[in-house]
Amino acid sequence: MNNAIITVLIIIFFAFMVFIGVRCRRYSTDINGFVLGGRSAGPWLTAFAYGTSYFSAVIFVGYAGQFGWNFGIASTWIGLGNAFIGSLLAWSILGRRTRVMTQHLGSKTMPDFFGERFNSKKLKVFASVITFIFLIPYTASLYNGLSRLFSMAYPSVNYSVFVIIMAVLTGVYVIFGGYMATAVNDFVQGLIMLGGIIAVIAAVINTNGGYMTAMQTLATSETAGWEYVSFLGPNPVFLLFVVLLTSLGTWGLPQMVGKFYAIKNEDAIKKGTVISTFFAIIVAGGCYFLGGFGRLFNVDVANVGFDAVIPTMLSTLSPIIVGVVIVLVLSASMSTLSSLVLTSSSTITLDFIDPLKKNTMKEKQKMSVIKVFIVIFIAISAIIAIKQYSSKSILIAQMMGISWGALAGAFLAPFLFGLYWKKTTKAAVVVSFCFGVALEVIQLFISLGILSAPTNAFWKFVFTNSLYSGVFAMVGGIILVLIISPLTQKTKPEGIENMFSCYEEKTTSTVAESLGD
Protein backbone atom coordinates (compact mmCIF):
# COMPACT_ATOMS: atom_id res chain seq x y z
CA MET A 1 0.00 0.00 0.00
CA ASN A 2 1.31 3.44 -0.94
CA ASN A 3 1.50 5.27 2.38
CA ALA A 4 2.54 8.66 1.00
CA ILE A 5 -1.04 9.92 0.60
CA ILE A 6 -2.04 8.62 4.04
CA THR A 7 1.01 10.24 5.67
CA VAL A 8 0.35 13.63 4.06
CA LEU A 9 -3.30 13.61 5.15
CA ILE A 10 -2.36 12.69 8.72
CA ILE A 11 0.35 15.38 8.96
CA ILE A 12 -2.06 18.05 7.69
CA PHE A 13 -4.68 16.89 10.18
CA PHE A 14 -2.31 16.98 13.16
CA ALA A 15 -0.84 20.35 12.19
CA PHE A 16 -4.26 21.95 11.88
CA MET A 17 -5.39 20.45 15.18
CA VAL A 18 -2.39 21.84 17.09
CA PHE A 19 -2.78 25.21 15.34
CA ILE A 20 -6.37 25.50 16.63
CA GLY A 21 -5.22 24.57 20.13
CA VAL A 22 -2.66 27.37 20.14
CA ARG A 23 -5.10 29.90 18.65
CA CYS A 24 -7.68 29.15 21.35
CA ARG A 25 -5.36 29.93 24.26
CA ARG A 26 -7.03 33.31 24.75
CA TYR A 27 -10.27 31.57 25.75
CA SER A 28 -8.54 29.55 28.48
CA THR A 29 -7.14 32.14 30.85
CA ASP A 30 -9.33 31.07 33.80
CA ILE A 31 -11.18 27.99 35.06
CA ASN A 32 -14.53 28.99 33.56
CA GLY A 33 -12.94 29.51 30.16
CA PHE A 34 -10.72 26.43 30.27
CA VAL A 35 -13.43 24.02 31.44
CA LEU A 36 -16.62 25.53 29.96
CA GLY A 37 -15.47 27.98 27.30
CA GLY A 38 -17.14 30.79 29.26
CA ARG A 39 -20.56 29.16 28.70
CA SER A 40 -20.62 30.85 25.30
CA ALA A 41 -20.55 27.96 22.81
CA GLY A 42 -23.05 28.31 19.95
CA PRO A 43 -25.30 25.59 18.48
CA TRP A 44 -22.94 24.30 15.79
CA LEU A 45 -19.93 24.06 18.10
CA THR A 46 -21.93 22.43 20.90
CA ALA A 47 -23.81 20.01 18.63
CA PHE A 48 -20.64 18.87 16.86
CA ALA A 49 -18.77 18.67 20.18
CA TYR A 50 -21.56 16.43 21.50
CA GLY A 51 -21.59 14.24 18.39
CA THR A 52 -17.85 13.87 18.01
CA SER A 53 -17.48 13.07 21.72
CA TYR A 54 -20.18 10.43 21.27
CA PHE A 55 -18.71 8.62 18.26
CA SER A 56 -15.10 7.51 18.09
CA ALA A 57 -12.81 4.65 17.07
CA VAL A 58 -14.64 2.50 19.61
CA ILE A 59 -17.83 2.91 17.58
CA PHE A 60 -16.21 2.65 14.16
CA VAL A 61 -13.77 -0.19 14.84
CA GLY A 62 -15.07 -1.98 17.93
CA TYR A 63 -18.86 -1.69 17.98
CA ALA A 64 -19.50 -1.47 14.23
CA GLY A 65 -17.29 -4.50 13.66
CA GLN A 66 -18.69 -6.64 16.46
CA PHE A 67 -22.36 -5.77 16.13
CA GLY A 68 -22.31 -5.58 12.35
CA TRP A 69 -20.97 -9.13 12.39
CA ASN A 70 -23.54 -10.28 14.98
CA PHE A 71 -26.65 -8.51 13.64
CA GLY A 72 -25.95 -7.79 9.99
CA ILE A 73 -27.76 -4.83 8.44
CA ALA A 74 -30.07 -4.68 11.49
CA SER A 75 -27.15 -3.18 13.42
CA THR A 76 -28.18 0.10 11.75
CA TRP A 77 -30.87 0.28 14.47
CA ILE A 78 -28.09 0.95 16.98
CA GLY A 79 -27.08 4.07 15.08
CA LEU A 80 -30.67 5.23 14.80
CA GLY A 81 -31.14 4.64 18.53
CA ASN A 82 -28.05 6.75 19.16
CA ALA A 83 -29.59 9.51 17.03
CA PHE A 84 -33.10 9.60 18.47
CA ILE A 85 -32.53 8.47 22.07
CA GLY A 86 -28.92 9.42 22.65
CA SER A 87 -29.12 12.77 20.83
CA LEU A 88 -32.66 14.03 20.16
CA LEU A 89 -34.21 12.95 23.48
CA ALA A 90 -31.08 13.76 25.46
CA TRP A 91 -31.01 17.32 24.15
CA SER A 92 -34.77 17.76 24.58
CA ILE A 93 -34.97 16.39 28.12
CA LEU A 94 -31.59 17.32 29.60
CA GLY A 95 -30.29 20.26 27.57
CA ARG A 96 -32.25 23.23 28.86
CA ARG A 97 -32.65 22.04 32.46
CA THR A 98 -28.97 21.19 32.75
CA ARG A 99 -27.90 24.61 31.47
CA VAL A 100 -30.28 26.46 33.81
CA MET A 101 -29.70 24.44 36.99
CA THR A 102 -25.92 24.20 36.70
CA GLN A 103 -25.55 27.95 36.17
CA HIS A 104 -27.91 28.61 39.09
CA LEU A 105 -25.89 26.30 41.36
CA GLY A 106 -22.56 27.49 39.97
CA SER A 107 -21.44 23.95 39.15
CA LYS A 108 -18.85 23.29 36.44
CA THR A 109 -18.80 19.48 36.37
CA MET A 110 -21.21 16.61 37.00
CA PRO A 111 -19.69 15.75 40.43
CA ASP A 112 -19.90 19.45 41.29
CA PHE A 113 -23.61 19.32 40.39
CA PHE A 114 -24.17 16.39 42.75
CA GLY A 115 -22.32 18.19 45.53
CA GLU A 116 -24.33 21.41 45.15
CA ARG A 117 -27.70 19.80 44.36
CA PHE A 118 -27.58 17.46 47.36
CA ASN A 119 -25.55 19.66 49.73
CA SER A 120 -22.83 17.04 50.13
CA LYS A 121 -19.09 17.50 49.67
CA LYS A 122 -18.58 13.74 50.20
CA LEU A 123 -20.98 13.00 47.34
CA LYS A 124 -19.02 15.37 45.13
CA VAL A 125 -15.73 13.64 45.97
CA PHE A 126 -17.26 10.16 45.51
CA ALA A 127 -18.58 11.11 42.06
CA SER A 128 -15.24 12.60 41.03
CA VAL A 129 -13.38 9.38 41.92
CA ILE A 130 -15.89 7.27 39.95
CA THR A 131 -15.50 9.60 36.96
CA PHE A 132 -11.71 9.52 36.98
CA ILE A 133 -11.41 5.75 37.40
CA PHE A 134 -13.98 4.66 34.83
CA LEU A 135 -13.04 7.11 32.11
CA ILE A 136 -9.60 5.48 31.94
CA PRO A 137 -10.70 2.17 30.32
CA TYR A 138 -12.85 4.16 27.89
CA THR A 139 -9.84 6.22 26.83
CA ALA A 140 -7.66 3.11 26.58
CA SER A 141 -10.20 1.54 24.25
CA LEU A 142 -10.00 4.61 21.99
CA TYR A 143 -6.24 4.23 21.64
CA ASN A 144 -6.66 0.57 20.73
CA GLY A 145 -9.23 1.27 18.03
CA LEU A 146 -7.09 3.95 16.44
CA SER A 147 -3.93 1.92 16.60
CA ARG A 148 -5.47 -1.07 14.82
CA LEU A 149 -6.15 1.15 11.82
CA PHE A 150 -2.66 2.62 11.94
CA SER A 151 -1.21 -0.88 12.12
CA MET A 152 -3.15 -1.77 8.97
CA ALA A 153 -1.69 1.22 7.09
CA TYR A 154 1.80 0.97 8.61
CA PRO A 155 2.34 -2.75 9.44
CA SER A 156 6.09 -2.37 10.03
CA VAL A 157 5.69 0.26 12.77
CA ASN A 158 5.32 -0.89 16.39
CA TYR A 159 1.85 -0.49 17.87
CA SER A 160 3.09 1.44 20.93
CA VAL A 161 4.47 4.21 18.68
CA PHE A 162 0.96 5.05 17.48
CA VAL A 163 -0.38 5.14 21.03
CA ILE A 164 2.40 7.47 22.20
CA ILE A 165 1.91 9.84 19.25
CA MET A 166 -1.83 10.01 19.92
CA ALA A 167 -1.25 10.60 23.62
CA VAL A 168 1.22 13.45 23.10
CA LEU A 169 -0.85 15.28 20.48
CA THR A 170 -4.03 14.99 22.54
CA GLY A 171 -2.26 16.49 25.51
CA VAL A 172 -0.77 19.34 23.51
CA TYR A 173 -3.96 20.80 22.09
CA VAL A 174 -6.08 20.26 25.21
CA ILE A 175 -3.48 21.84 27.50
CA PHE A 176 -3.08 24.81 25.17
CA GLY A 177 -6.70 25.57 24.34
CA GLY A 178 -9.00 23.87 26.87
CA TYR A 179 -12.71 23.52 26.11
CA MET A 180 -12.84 26.02 23.26
CA ALA A 181 -9.97 24.32 21.43
CA THR A 182 -11.76 20.98 21.70
CA ALA A 183 -15.04 22.56 20.54
CA VAL A 184 -13.54 24.23 17.46
CA ASN A 185 -11.56 21.11 16.60
CA ASP A 186 -14.70 19.05 17.10
CA PHE A 187 -16.52 21.15 14.53
CA VAL A 188 -13.81 20.65 11.91
CA GLN A 189 -13.45 16.97 12.80
CA GLY A 190 -17.21 16.54 12.60
CA LEU A 191 -17.25 17.82 9.03
CA ILE A 192 -14.54 15.30 8.16
CA MET A 193 -16.57 12.52 9.79
CA LEU A 194 -19.72 13.39 7.83
CA GLY A 195 -17.97 13.39 4.49
CA GLY A 196 -15.71 10.48 5.32
CA ILE A 197 -18.36 7.99 6.39
CA ILE A 198 -20.39 8.60 3.22
CA ALA A 199 -17.28 8.09 1.05
CA VAL A 200 -16.30 4.88 2.85
CA ILE A 201 -19.76 3.32 2.65
CA ALA A 202 -19.92 4.08 -1.07
CA ALA A 203 -16.47 2.55 -1.63
CA VAL A 204 -17.18 -0.65 0.33
CA ILE A 205 -20.56 -1.23 -1.37
CA ASN A 206 -19.05 -0.51 -4.77
CA THR A 207 -16.32 -3.14 -4.24
CA ASN A 208 -19.09 -5.69 -3.61
CA GLY A 209 -21.00 -4.97 -6.82
CA GLY A 210 -23.39 -2.31 -5.57
CA TYR A 211 -26.05 -2.26 -2.85
CA MET A 212 -28.47 -4.89 -4.19
CA THR A 213 -25.69 -7.30 -5.13
CA ALA A 214 -24.02 -6.89 -1.73
CA MET A 215 -27.33 -7.53 0.07
CA GLN A 216 -28.02 -10.62 -2.04
CA THR A 217 -24.51 -11.96 -1.45
CA LEU A 218 -24.89 -11.39 2.29
CA ALA A 219 -28.26 -13.19 2.34
CA THR A 220 -26.91 -16.24 0.51
CA SER A 221 -23.42 -16.36 2.03
CA GLU A 222 -22.35 -19.46 3.96
CA THR A 223 -21.11 -17.26 6.81
CA ALA A 224 -24.30 -15.16 6.92
CA GLY A 225 -27.84 -15.88 5.70
CA TRP A 226 -31.19 -14.19 5.20
CA GLU A 227 -31.45 -13.16 8.88
CA TYR A 228 -28.45 -10.86 8.43
CA VAL A 229 -30.40 -8.72 5.98
CA SER A 230 -33.68 -8.96 7.91
CA PHE A 231 -35.43 -6.10 9.72
CA LEU A 232 -34.37 -7.05 13.28
CA GLY A 233 -31.48 -9.42 12.59
CA PRO A 234 -30.75 -12.83 14.13
CA ASN A 235 -30.91 -11.73 17.79
CA PRO A 236 -33.44 -8.92 18.46
CA VAL A 237 -33.19 -9.14 22.28
CA PHE A 238 -29.43 -8.64 22.30
CA LEU A 239 -29.86 -5.86 19.73
CA LEU A 240 -32.28 -4.06 22.07
CA PHE A 241 -29.75 -4.17 24.94
CA VAL A 242 -27.05 -2.71 22.71
CA VAL A 243 -29.37 0.10 21.59
CA LEU A 244 -30.27 0.92 25.22
CA LEU A 245 -26.70 0.97 26.53
CA THR A 246 -25.21 3.00 23.69
CA SER A 247 -28.17 5.42 23.49
CA LEU A 248 -29.60 5.91 26.96
CA GLY A 249 -26.16 5.55 28.51
CA THR A 250 -25.05 8.94 27.21
CA TRP A 251 -27.52 10.62 29.57
CA GLY A 252 -25.28 9.71 32.48
CA LEU A 253 -21.83 10.27 30.97
CA PRO A 254 -20.03 13.34 32.41
CA GLN A 255 -18.20 14.15 29.17
CA MET A 256 -21.52 14.20 27.26
CA VAL A 257 -23.72 16.05 29.75
CA GLY A 258 -20.95 18.59 30.25
CA LYS A 259 -21.63 19.93 26.74
CA PHE A 260 -24.96 21.30 27.97
CA TYR A 261 -23.20 23.31 30.70
CA ALA A 262 -21.39 25.39 28.11
CA ILE A 263 -24.15 26.15 25.59
CA LYS A 264 -24.85 29.84 25.01
CA ASN A 265 -28.63 30.40 24.98
CA GLU A 266 -32.09 29.11 24.16
CA ASP A 267 -31.70 29.48 20.42
CA ALA A 268 -28.48 27.47 20.55
CA ILE A 269 -30.30 24.62 22.32
CA LYS A 270 -33.08 24.46 19.72
CA LYS A 271 -30.68 24.51 16.77
CA GLY A 272 -28.20 22.22 18.50
CA THR A 273 -30.89 19.57 19.02
CA VAL A 274 -31.57 19.37 15.29
CA ILE A 275 -27.91 19.51 14.25
CA SER A 276 -26.85 16.87 16.77
CA THR A 277 -29.61 14.47 15.69
CA PHE A 278 -28.78 14.85 12.01
CA PHE A 279 -25.09 14.32 12.74
CA ALA A 280 -25.82 11.10 14.66
CA ILE A 281 -28.07 9.71 11.93
CA ILE A 282 -25.32 10.07 9.33
CA VAL A 283 -22.28 9.11 11.41
CA ALA A 284 -23.67 6.47 13.81
CA GLY A 285 -26.19 5.09 11.36
CA GLY A 286 -23.50 4.98 8.68
CA CYS A 287 -20.94 3.21 10.89
CA TYR A 288 -23.29 0.42 11.92
CA PHE A 289 -24.71 0.09 8.41
CA LEU A 290 -21.15 -0.34 7.12
CA GLY A 291 -20.41 -2.93 9.79
CA GLY A 292 -23.43 -4.92 8.65
CA PHE A 293 -21.49 -5.98 5.53
CA GLY A 294 -18.60 -7.43 7.57
CA ARG A 295 -19.48 -11.05 6.78
CA LEU A 296 -18.81 -10.41 3.10
CA PHE A 297 -15.10 -10.35 3.97
CA ASN A 298 -12.90 -13.23 5.02
CA VAL A 299 -12.37 -12.50 8.73
CA ASP A 300 -11.45 -15.26 11.18
CA VAL A 301 -13.08 -13.63 14.22
CA ALA A 302 -12.44 -16.71 16.35
CA ASN A 303 -8.69 -16.03 16.17
CA VAL A 304 -8.29 -12.33 15.40
CA GLY A 305 -11.39 -10.99 17.18
CA PHE A 306 -14.20 -8.66 16.13
CA ASP A 307 -11.91 -5.64 16.29
CA ALA A 308 -10.29 -6.86 13.05
CA VAL A 309 -13.54 -6.81 11.03
CA ILE A 310 -13.54 -3.14 9.98
CA PRO A 311 -9.76 -2.95 9.31
CA THR A 312 -10.08 -6.05 7.11
CA MET A 313 -12.94 -4.46 5.16
CA LEU A 314 -10.91 -1.30 4.63
CA SER A 315 -7.66 -3.03 3.66
CA THR A 316 -9.11 -3.81 0.21
CA LEU A 317 -9.75 -0.15 -0.60
CA SER A 318 -7.52 2.35 -2.43
CA PRO A 319 -4.82 4.24 -0.46
CA ILE A 320 -6.70 7.54 -0.69
CA ILE A 321 -9.87 5.99 0.75
CA VAL A 322 -7.85 4.34 3.52
CA GLY A 323 -6.30 7.75 4.20
CA VAL A 324 -9.76 9.30 4.41
CA VAL A 325 -10.84 6.54 6.81
CA ILE A 326 -7.84 7.03 9.08
CA VAL A 327 -8.37 10.80 9.19
CA LEU A 328 -12.08 10.15 9.78
CA VAL A 329 -11.38 7.89 12.76
CA LEU A 330 -8.66 10.23 13.98
CA SER A 331 -11.22 13.05 13.90
CA ALA A 332 -13.75 11.03 15.83
CA SER A 333 -11.32 9.72 18.40
CA MET A 334 -9.23 12.84 19.00
CA SER A 335 -12.38 14.79 19.79
CA THR A 336 -13.57 12.08 22.17
CA LEU A 337 -10.13 11.79 23.76
CA SER A 338 -9.92 15.52 24.34
CA SER A 339 -13.38 15.56 25.90
CA LEU A 340 -12.54 12.62 28.17
CA VAL A 341 -9.21 13.97 29.41
CA LEU A 342 -10.61 17.46 30.00
CA THR A 343 -13.61 16.05 31.88
CA SER A 344 -11.52 13.72 34.01
CA SER A 345 -8.73 16.16 34.87
CA SER A 346 -11.07 19.05 35.69
CA THR A 347 -13.26 16.77 37.79
CA ILE A 348 -10.41 15.32 39.86
CA THR A 349 -8.99 18.83 40.41
CA LEU A 350 -12.13 20.84 41.13
CA ASP A 351 -14.14 18.13 42.85
CA PHE A 352 -11.48 16.10 44.67
CA ILE A 353 -8.17 17.94 45.15
CA ASP A 354 -9.64 21.39 45.87
CA PRO A 355 -12.16 20.10 48.49
CA LEU A 356 -9.33 18.19 50.21
CA LYS A 357 -7.47 21.49 50.46
CA LYS A 358 -10.66 23.07 51.88
CA ASN A 359 -11.20 25.09 48.67
CA THR A 360 -8.11 27.23 49.26
CA MET A 361 -6.57 26.73 45.81
CA LYS A 362 -6.19 29.85 43.69
CA GLU A 363 -7.24 30.09 40.05
CA LYS A 364 -3.72 29.63 38.65
CA GLN A 365 -3.09 26.67 40.94
CA LYS A 366 -6.25 24.96 39.76
CA MET A 367 -5.28 25.52 36.13
CA SER A 368 -1.83 24.04 36.74
CA VAL A 369 -3.19 21.00 38.57
CA ILE A 370 -5.78 20.36 35.83
CA LYS A 371 -3.01 20.35 33.22
CA VAL A 372 -0.88 18.00 35.32
CA PHE A 373 -3.78 15.58 35.59
CA ILE A 374 -4.38 15.80 31.85
CA VAL A 375 -0.87 14.41 31.42
CA ILE A 376 -1.37 11.75 34.12
CA PHE A 377 -4.73 10.64 32.72
CA ILE A 378 -3.40 10.34 29.18
CA ALA A 379 -0.31 8.45 30.33
CA ILE A 380 -2.26 5.89 32.39
CA SER A 381 -4.71 5.30 29.55
CA ALA A 382 -1.91 4.87 27.01
CA ILE A 383 -0.10 2.34 29.21
CA ILE A 384 -3.30 0.32 29.67
CA ALA A 385 -3.91 0.41 25.91
CA ILE A 386 -0.41 -0.91 25.17
CA LYS A 387 -0.72 -3.66 27.78
CA GLN A 388 -4.19 -4.66 26.63
CA TYR A 389 -3.24 -4.93 22.98
CA SER A 390 -1.47 -8.25 23.51
CA SER A 391 -4.41 -9.68 25.49
CA LYS A 392 -7.70 -10.78 23.94
CA SER A 393 -9.46 -11.05 27.32
CA ILE A 394 -11.29 -7.74 26.85
CA LEU A 395 -12.22 -6.45 23.41
CA ILE A 396 -12.67 -2.78 22.57
CA ALA A 397 -16.44 -3.07 22.88
CA GLN A 398 -16.17 -4.78 26.26
CA MET A 399 -13.84 -2.11 27.66
CA MET A 400 -16.15 0.66 26.53
CA GLY A 401 -19.20 -1.22 27.82
CA ILE A 402 -17.71 -1.50 31.32
CA SER A 403 -16.88 2.20 31.38
CA TRP A 404 -20.28 3.27 30.06
CA GLY A 405 -22.11 0.84 32.32
CA ALA A 406 -20.41 2.05 35.49
CA LEU A 407 -20.76 5.78 34.75
CA ALA A 408 -24.29 5.66 33.37
CA GLY A 409 -25.42 3.14 36.00
CA ALA A 410 -24.11 5.35 38.79
CA PHE A 411 -25.00 8.81 37.43
CA LEU A 412 -27.97 8.62 35.05
CA ALA A 413 -30.79 8.30 37.59
CA PRO A 414 -29.39 10.77 40.18
CA PHE A 415 -28.69 13.37 37.50
CA LEU A 416 -32.03 13.02 35.70
CA PHE A 417 -34.11 13.05 38.89
CA GLY A 418 -31.89 15.74 40.36
CA LEU A 419 -32.99 18.04 37.54
CA TYR A 420 -36.69 17.15 37.65
CA TRP A 421 -37.73 15.70 41.03
CA LYS A 422 -37.52 17.72 44.24
CA LYS A 423 -37.94 14.61 46.41
CA THR A 424 -34.73 12.95 45.21
CA THR A 425 -32.58 12.26 48.29
CA LYS A 426 -28.89 11.98 49.04
CA ALA A 427 -29.37 8.41 50.31
CA ALA A 428 -30.90 7.35 46.99
CA VAL A 429 -28.01 8.94 45.10
CA VAL A 430 -25.43 7.08 47.21
CA VAL A 431 -27.19 3.75 46.60
CA SER A 432 -27.31 4.41 42.84
CA PHE A 433 -23.59 5.24 42.81
CA CYS A 434 -22.71 2.04 44.68
CA PHE A 435 -25.03 -0.18 42.64
CA GLY A 436 -23.74 0.97 39.24
CA VAL A 437 -20.08 0.76 40.21
CA ALA A 438 -20.38 -2.59 42.01
CA LEU A 439 -22.17 -4.23 39.09
CA GLU A 440 -19.51 -3.18 36.59
CA VAL A 441 -16.57 -4.01 38.87
CA ILE A 442 -17.96 -7.55 39.11
CA GLN A 443 -18.36 -7.56 35.33
CA LEU A 444 -14.75 -6.43 34.93
CA PHE A 445 -13.45 -9.22 37.17
CA ILE A 446 -15.51 -11.79 35.28
CA SER A 447 -14.20 -10.48 31.94
CA LEU A 448 -10.62 -10.70 33.22
CA GLY A 449 -11.19 -14.23 34.51
CA ILE A 450 -10.62 -13.23 38.15
CA LEU A 451 -14.18 -14.25 39.05
CA SER A 452 -16.30 -17.07 37.65
CA ALA A 453 -19.65 -16.29 36.05
CA PRO A 454 -22.64 -16.81 38.42
CA THR A 455 -24.55 -20.08 38.14
CA ASN A 456 -27.92 -18.48 38.93
CA ALA A 457 -29.83 -18.10 35.64
CA PHE A 458 -30.77 -14.43 36.14
CA TRP A 459 -27.34 -13.23 37.23
CA LYS A 460 -25.63 -15.37 34.62
CA PHE A 461 -27.72 -13.52 32.02
CA VAL A 462 -26.88 -10.12 33.56
CA PHE A 463 -23.15 -10.84 33.46
CA THR A 464 -23.16 -12.38 29.98
CA ASN A 465 -21.17 -9.30 28.93
CA SER A 466 -20.74 -5.64 29.83
CA LEU A 467 -23.60 -4.60 27.54
CA TYR A 468 -26.17 -6.56 29.51
CA SER A 469 -24.80 -5.57 32.91
CA GLY A 470 -24.58 -1.93 31.80
CA VAL A 471 -28.26 -1.81 30.90
CA PHE A 472 -29.19 -3.47 34.20
CA ALA A 473 -27.03 -0.92 36.03
CA MET A 474 -28.92 1.97 34.41
CA VAL A 475 -32.40 0.51 34.85
CA GLY A 476 -31.57 -0.65 38.38
CA GLY A 477 -30.36 2.85 39.29
CA ILE A 478 -33.63 4.40 38.11
CA ILE A 479 -35.69 1.88 40.09
CA LEU A 480 -33.57 2.31 43.23
CA VAL A 481 -33.83 6.11 43.21
CA LEU A 482 -37.60 5.91 42.75
CA ILE A 483 -37.97 3.44 45.64
CA ILE A 484 -35.41 4.78 48.10
CA SER A 485 -36.12 8.51 47.79
CA PRO A 486 -39.67 8.36 49.30
CA LEU A 487 -38.30 6.20 52.15
CA THR A 488 -35.39 8.51 53.00
CA GLN A 489 -36.89 12.00 52.92
CA LYS A 490 -34.84 12.94 55.99
CA THR A 491 -31.78 12.99 53.74
CA LYS A 492 -33.40 15.39 51.27
CA PRO A 493 -31.25 18.54 51.06
CA GLU A 494 -32.36 21.83 52.57
CA GLY A 495 -33.13 24.78 50.33
CA ILE A 496 -34.62 22.63 47.58
CA GLU A 497 -37.23 25.25 46.71
CA ASN A 498 -34.52 27.81 46.11
CA MET A 499 -32.65 25.37 43.88
CA PHE A 500 -35.69 24.81 41.70
CA SER A 501 -36.65 28.49 41.70
CA CYS A 502 -34.26 28.94 38.77
CA TYR A 503 -36.90 27.37 36.53
CA GLU A 504 -39.43 30.03 37.50
CA GLU A 505 -37.32 33.09 36.81
CA LYS A 506 -38.83 35.24 34.10
CA THR A 507 -37.45 36.21 30.74
CA THR A 508 -40.17 36.41 28.12
CA SER A 509 -41.39 33.18 29.73
CA THR A 510 -40.09 30.85 32.43
CA VAL A 511 -36.45 29.86 32.11
CA ALA A 512 -37.61 26.24 31.84
CA GLU A 513 -39.03 27.22 28.45
CA SER A 514 -36.57 29.88 27.29
CA LEU A 515 -33.06 30.83 28.38
CA GLY A 516 -33.28 34.20 26.71
CA ASP A 517 -29.95 35.79 25.75
Query: Rounded to the nearest 5 degrees, what angle is found at the Cα of 221, between the Cα atoms of 219 and 223?
Result: 115
Predicted confidence (pLDDT) per residue in 228-241, tens digit: 899 888 989 889 98
pLDDT band at 88 (very low <50, low <70, confident <90, very high): very high
Mean pLDDT for the chain overall:
83
pLDDT score recorded for residue 171: 80
517 has a pLDDT exceeding 70: no
* pLDDT tens column, 390-434: 655 455 556 777 888 899 999 999 999 999 999 999 999 999 999
Q: Are 185 and 32 in contact (CB under 8 A)?
A: no
Q: Greater confidence, 364 or 97?
A: 97
Residue 40's pLDDT band (cuts 50, 70, 90): low
Please state, as a whole number, how many other Cβ atoms lie within 10 Å of the Cβ of residue 516: 12
pLDDT band for position 473 (50/70/90)? very high
Mean pLDDT of 324-335: 74
pTM above 0.75, yes or no: yes
Least confident window among 40-44, 73-77, 122-126: 40-44
Span 474-515, pLDDT tens digits:
999 999 999 999 999 999 988 899 999 888 877 666 666 566
Alpha-helical regions (H) of 390-425? 396-420
Would you say 61 and 148 are in contact if contact means Cβ atoms under 8 Å apart? yes
Helix (H, G, I), strand (E, B) or coil at 205: helix
Mean pLDDT, residues 185-192 taken together: 79
Residue 129: partners with Cβ closer than 8 Å, 6 or more residues away = 348, 352
Q: What is the torsional sign of CA 160, 162, 163, 167?
A: positive
- By CB atoms closer than 10 A (0-12, 13-18, 19+), residue 359 is exposed
The pLDDT-based confidence of 1 (bands split at 50, 70, 90) is very low
Euclidean distance between CA atoms 127 and 110, whole angstroms: 8
Q: What is the set of domains in the chain, with CATH numbers?
A: 4-393 (1.20.1730.10)
Residue 163 pLDDT greater than 90, yes or no: no
Within a 13 Å sphere around the CA of 36, how many CA atoms are in the beta-carbon half?
A: 22
Q: From CA 471, how far away is CA 436, in angstroms rounded? A: 10
Q: Confidence band (pLDDT; 50, 70, 90) for 375?
A: confident
Mean pLDDT (whole number) for 168-195: 78
pLDDT digits (tens, 9 = 90+) for 453-464: 888 888 888 888
Q: Minimum mean pLDDT among 163-177, 186-200, 386-400, 466-480: which range?
A: 386-400
Residue 184 has pLDDT above 80, yes or no: no
pLDDT digits (tens, 9 = 90+) for 239-265: 998 898 889 988 998 888 888 887 877
Q: Are 281 and 80 in contact, with CB atoms under 8 Å apart?
A: yes
For 6, 32, 316, the CA distances from 208, given in Å and listed in that order, are 24, 51, 11
Q: Per mean pLDDT, which range of 28-37, 281-290, 339-348 is the poorest? A: 28-37
What's residue 56's pLDDT? 73
Supply the pLDDT for residue 419: 94
